[in-house]
């Protein structure tokens, strides 16, 4: 089967981009002819590892500028559609998987709706009107829409998009043994962006800083909030206790070395960080934010605390620090997460949807 993924820009770092590469690679390993078309891509190369048999193509070496207004971006979709009308990969595809709203608009405008599945990784109300209505019109023209959670599915169905299925993300890295060492590192991973809640994490650490001598929080990631977070660290005298590591080349090694991890997000799509941590046997503390953490950690693997409750987060961090047996218990439970979200299982779920609609 020839399966083509269409995505806005797969030369940038992001959750949807990583999921696309993981799923495309697994489909290729299962014997399918798989291509990824990155509509834009100034970098030219995919940021994530993909199976060598996956055909990766950048359609335009321009940058997709999120700073443009939505109307300006819509005009770009129309302009790109004219250039891609006779794209051989799209024409020859048995199945097109359009990742997110931009790719969906493009593929529907090109007239390929009858062989398209749309992957949408975000809450229904991510957009405001008139974009919500436009998205619904476009999504109804595809064979099906695939979302990450049951609550997402219910929201789409409630607003008239009935052809919606649920498939969660797969474990994005190989299962690896956690290192049994004495590192007193609490790991947080993600973009330095407001939604990741690292400001809240810093406040939680500040409230217990006198009790955590010898321990440090390491935040791996980069983003526009760096200056604000650096100022918070300075204001709370947390130099040496909270460290902004920036981007790291081998995040799996960081998971394996840390004692436990923390998710302080205000909201998540379906946390790839929790899946990566589980693959490395790392126990986690997470806010019970929408969506994803409760689904992943609900049956073990870490502690869930009330969303954005700084005191509750502080207490959970202290419990993990104080009790190695608790950390070991949660680390053992990550094996269940690895089994549930294995690439083969998620691949099978996608193939069932393809067989159902195409």
Confidence of residue 76 (pLDDT cuts 50, 70, 90): confident
Instruction: Write the pLDDT tens digit of every residue in 273-317.
Output: 999 999 999 999 999 998 789 989 998 999 999 999 999 999 999
- Rounded Cα distance, 178 and 316, in Å: 21
Distance CA 190, CA 272 (A): 10
What strand order describes the sheet that includes 302-305?
242-246, 216-220, 185-189, 260-263, 284-287, 302-305
Token pair recorded at residue 321: 């620090």
- Tens-place pLDDT, residues 337-354: 999 999 999 999 999 999
pLDDT for the residue 44: 78
| Tokens linked to 126 | 């991510």
- The SS3 assignment for 218 reads strand
CATH architecture observed for domain 2-170+342-357: 3-Layer(aba) Sandwich (3.40)
Indicate the SS3 state at residue 60: strand
Supply φ then ψ for residue 89, to 5 degrees: -65, -45
Per-residue pLDDT, 147: 96
Token couple for 14: 């992001």
pLDDT exceeds cutoff 80 at 68: no
Contact 197, 287 (CB under 8 A): yes
Q: Which of 53, 40, 59 minimizes the C-alpha distance to 3?
A: 53
- Report pLDDT for 343: 94
pLDDT computed for residue 246 by the predictor? 95
The whole-chain average pLDDT of the chain stands at 92
Q: pTM of the entire structure?
A: 0.86
Confidence of residue 81 (pLDDT cuts 50, 70, 90): confident
Find the Cα–Cα–Cα–Cα dihedral 246, 248, 254, 260, rounded to 10°: 30
- Structure token digits, residue 58: 């950048």
Residues 285, 279: Cα–Cα separation, whole Å = 16
> Strand runs (DSSP E) across 198-251, as ranges?
216-220, 242-246
Domains 2-170+342-357 and 185-340 share a fold: yes
Spell out the domain ranges in the chain. 2-170+342-357, 185-340
For residue 197, the model assigns a pLDDT of 97
Share of the chain above pLDDT 70, in %: 99
Q: How confident is the model at residue 174 (pLDDT cuts 50, 70, 90)?
A: confident
CATH for 185-340 (3.40.50.2000, 2.60.120.650, 3.30.70.20, 3.40.50.2300): 3.40.50.2000
Nearest alpha-carbon partner for 4 in 146, 140, 117, 157:
117
Tell me the β-bridge partners of 217.
186, 242
Angle between helices 310-322 and 198-207 (to 10 degrees): 60
Q: Write the pLDDT tens digit of every residue in 204-257.
A: 999 999 999 899 999 999 999 999 999 999 999 999 999 999 999 888 899 999
Which of helix, strand or coil describes residue 332? helix
Backbone angles phi, psi at 97, to 5 degrees: -110, 105
Spell out the residues 6+ positions from residue 315 whose beta carbon is closer than 8 angstroms to its own: 305
pLDDT for res 323: 95
């Amino acid at each position: 089967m020839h399966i083509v993924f269409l995505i806005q820009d797969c030369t940038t770092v992001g959750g949807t981009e990583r999921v696309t590469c993981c799923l495309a690679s697994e489909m290729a390993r299962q014997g399918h002819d798989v291509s990824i078309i990155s509509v834009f891509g100034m970098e030219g190369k995919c940021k994530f590892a993909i199976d060598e048999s996956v055909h990766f193509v950048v359609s335009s070496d321009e940058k997709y500028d999120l700073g443009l207004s939505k109307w300006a971006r819509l005009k770009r979709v129309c302009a790109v559609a004219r250039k891609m009308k006779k794209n051989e990969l799209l024409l020859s595809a048995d199945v097109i998987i359009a990742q997110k709203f931009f790719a969906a608009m493009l593929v529907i405008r090109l007239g390929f709706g009858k062989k398209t599945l749309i992957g949408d990784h975000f809450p229904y109300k991510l957009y405001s009107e008139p974009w919500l209505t436009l998205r619904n019109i476009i999504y109804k023209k595809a064979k099906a829409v695939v979302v990450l959670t049951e609550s997402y599915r219910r929201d789409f169905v409630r607003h008239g998009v009935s052809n919606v299925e649920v498939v969660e993300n797969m474990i994005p890295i190989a299962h690896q043994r956690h290192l049994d060492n004495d590192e007193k590192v609490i790991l947080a991973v993600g973009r330095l962006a407001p939604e990741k809640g690292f400001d809240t994490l810093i406040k939680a650490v500040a409230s217990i800083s006198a009790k955590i001598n010898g321990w440090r929080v390491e935040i791996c990631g980069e983003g526009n909030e760096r200056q604000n977070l650096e100022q918070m660290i300075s204001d709370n005298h947390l130099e040496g206790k909270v460290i902004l590591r920036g981007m790291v080349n081998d995040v799996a090694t960081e998971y394996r070395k840390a004692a436990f991890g923390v998710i302080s997000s205000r909201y998540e799509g379906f946390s790839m960080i929790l899946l990566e941590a589980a693959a490395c046997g790392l126990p986690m503390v997470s806010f019970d934010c929408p969506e994803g953490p409760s689904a992943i950690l609900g049956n073990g693997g870490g502690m869930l605390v009330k969303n954005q409750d700084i005191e509750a987060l502080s207490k959970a961090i202290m419990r993990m620090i104080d009790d190695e047996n608790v950390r070991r218990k949660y680390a053992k439970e990550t094996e269940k997460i690895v089994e549930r979200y294995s690439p083969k299982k998620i691949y099978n779920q996608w193939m069932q949807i393809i067989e159902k609609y195409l």
